Structure 1
Amino acid sequence: MVAQNRASSGTDNKSSFSSDLINIESSADQVFRFTGTLQNNTSADQIYELSAKLPEGWRTVFKAKGKQITSIKVDSGKRETINLEFYPSHQANPKKYEIPVTAESEEESLNLDLEAVVSGAYALEITTPSGRLSDKITEGEKKDIQLVVKNTASLKLTDIDLSSKTPPKWSVVFSPSEIESLSPGETKQVTATVTVPDKTIAGDYMATFTAKNASTKDQAVFRVSVVTSLTSGLLGTVIIIIAIVVVYILIRKYGRR
């Protein structure tokens, strides 16, 4: 984050609205935070209404003494510290944005001109080549799931880690396990090898795959349908047949008594 300068409105012996920093540079996914000082040099207490002219899609929050405000009372000859937070639009293009801020009372209007320089944005996406987020796996076996990690923003991403959250005793191995860098618009193919334990009950399970670095992250929730193996299915069938035969024999033997 880069910051510059000091600016104020008003001259000596007049009220002023000032900030030590008037220019901050950061990415579009960060909050631009300025600290302003509102000095009331009039002979009476003033209530100042605070407003900012923002770029489309942006929003602002004014704070004083730890509280969110839209106006503030400043006693005659006193000053108050105003924290100004500007939240950029997710679609903000890399450039300098001018943000005029006004503190207006019944007697005066004080202006503070700030600048937010958007250097770009960090964002990524993890999905599958087809976009389909479901598959079948046989219990006791492993399966390779193909994933795609894409840099969807305007700044380069580095040191992207891959991780997973699965049902107990499942395991996932990623290849590669880390992506060193992704330029804007670039994609990387990743293989997630999922292993399902023996005797897992047939049904639908959820596995979450995550790609993240220090600046951003994304998740893909994958539905895994576990089916029983042929051996387990035959064994279950044999057990059922044996149970039926045993019941039949017992009925034949004791049913007439």
Structure 2
Amino acid sequence: MSVVKVYKRGLKGGVCSLFSLFVFCLSSFYSLNVSAESIESGSSFTARLINIEAPVNEVFRYQTTLQNNSEKAQRFELKSEIPEGWRVVFKAMGSQLTSIKLEPGKSESISVEIKPAHAAEPDRYNIPIIAVSDEESLSLELEAVVEGSFDLELTTPSGKLSGEITEGEKAEIHLKVRNTGSLPLNEISLSSKTPRNWDITFSPSEIKQLDPGKTADVIATLTVPDKTLAGDYVSTFTAKNASSSSAVTYRMTVRTSMLSGGVGILVILLAIGFVYQLVRKFGRR
């Protein structure tokens, strides 16, 4: 076989190989384009932020976008899988909803509001959100990082916030300070706002530490000045620290003492007697 024939055969084989490579690349490129178009043609459910960290007593708010990339209108039903005691609300255009209809190629911003259960432990929670239509099922996984909370409550053992006292005397008011949060509370101080010249002391006046779910007893000793007019008076008691506070309004009814009442009655009787004597004396003339 001559060198020329070998060269021609090699050249012919090379051309065939190049042609085959070109066809393969073209088909691969076409398949990639078709795949990309099919991906782009599917609807989508996305969120600007999927991870939010907040205290347990806050509402976790996520801004999402639901896009209908199909060729026909679709009604998407909005669902979620949340832990027991939690609550989720979907809102669009300022209204609460459970489903939404989107025309082809249209999108809508949907606010997802998640409220953890009051007793939710500090932790990281995954919250699946689903938008389902007759044609598609779109899922979005949100993440809520629950922090501990500071919260306290000031009340009385019975819940009663009123009492009676005689002017010039003292009264003991029993209070309870309760840690209703999930983190310890330190250095809780007691204070009050009372009518003018009234005196009040707290025992203890400060609580060094109160663990979650625990209560502390406090006695407020209230002193009402002498000659205080009978009637209803309002005082405000406050328990607070650097992280939380709670206040209650306490109504105290002041009564006049027996001595003051007797003196008053005596003065009235003397006045009546004096007037009677004047009438008798000048009435004869």
TM-score between both structures, scaled by the size of structure 1: 0.74
Counterparts in 2 of 1:215 and 1:102: CA distance versus 1, 3 Å? farther
How many residue pairs match? The answer is 247
Matches within 5 A, 1:53-92: 53-92=81-120
- Give distance in 1, aligned partners of 2:206 and 2:96: 41
**Does residue 62 of structure 2 align to residue 34 of structure 1?**
yes
- Give distance in 1, aligned partners of 2:242 and 2:97: 32
SS in structure 2 at match of 1:207:
strand
Q: Contact between 1:122 and 1:157, CA under 8 Å: does it hold in 2?
A: yes
1:108 is aligned, of 127, 132, 136, to 136
| Per-residue Cα deviation, 1:60-93 (whole angstroms, up to 9, x for no partner) | 2222233333333434333322111112222334
Q: Contact between 1:170 and 1:194, CA under 8 Å: does it hold in 2?
A: no
Matches within 5 A, 1:1-257: 12-128=40-156, 133-139=161-167, 143=171, 145-158=173-186, 160=188, 162-164=190-192, 166=194, 169=196, 171=198, 175=202, 181-196=209-224, 199-212=227-240, 216-229=244-257, 232-253=260-281
Counterparts in 2 of 1:44 and 1:186: CA distance versus 1, 3 Å? same
- Give distance in 1, aligned partners of 2:63 and 2:218: 44
Counterparts in 2 of 1:106 and 1:200: CA distance versus 1, 3 Å? farther
Q: Contact between 2:72 and 2:103, CA under 8 Å: does it hold in 1?
A: yes
Q: Contact between 1:43 and 1:76, CA under 8 Å: does it hold in 2?
A: yes
Structure with greater helix percent: 2
Of the structure 1 ranges 12-21 and 206-215, higher mean CA displacement relative to structure 2 is found in: 206-215
Counterparts in 2 of 1:108 and 1:152: CA distance versus 1, 3 Å? same
Q: Contact between 2:199 and 2:224, CA under 8 Å: does it hold in 1?
A: no
SS in structure 1 at match of 2:164:
strand
SS in structure 2 at match of 1:243:
helix
Counterparts in 2 of 1:33 and 1:163: CA distance versus 1, 3 Å? farther
Amino acid across the alignment from 1:72:
I
Counterparts in 2 of 1:244 and 1:55: CA distance versus 1, 3 Å? same
- Give distance in 2, aligned partners of 1:74 and 1:90: 35
TM-score between both structures, scaled by the size of structure 2: 0.68
Task: Give the corresponding residue for 1:3.
Answer: none
| Per-residue Cα deviation, 1:233-257 (whole angstroms, up to 9, x for no partner) | 3431231221231243245335667
- Give distance in 1, aligned partners of 2:197 and 2:41: 72
Identity of aligned residues (%): 55
Structure 1 residue runs without a partner (length 5+): 1-9
SS in structure 2 at match of 1:149:
strand
- Give distance in 1, aligned partners of 2:96 and 2:187: 37
How far 1:31 moved relative to its partner?
0.9
Of the structure 1 ranges 238-247 and 177-186, higher mean CA displacement relative to structure 2 is found in: 177-186
Amino acid across the alignment from 1:14:
G
How far 1:19 moved relative to its partner?
1.9
Structure 2 residue runs without a partner (length 5+): 1-37
Counterparts in 2 of 1:81 and 1:209: CA distance versus 1, 3 Å? same
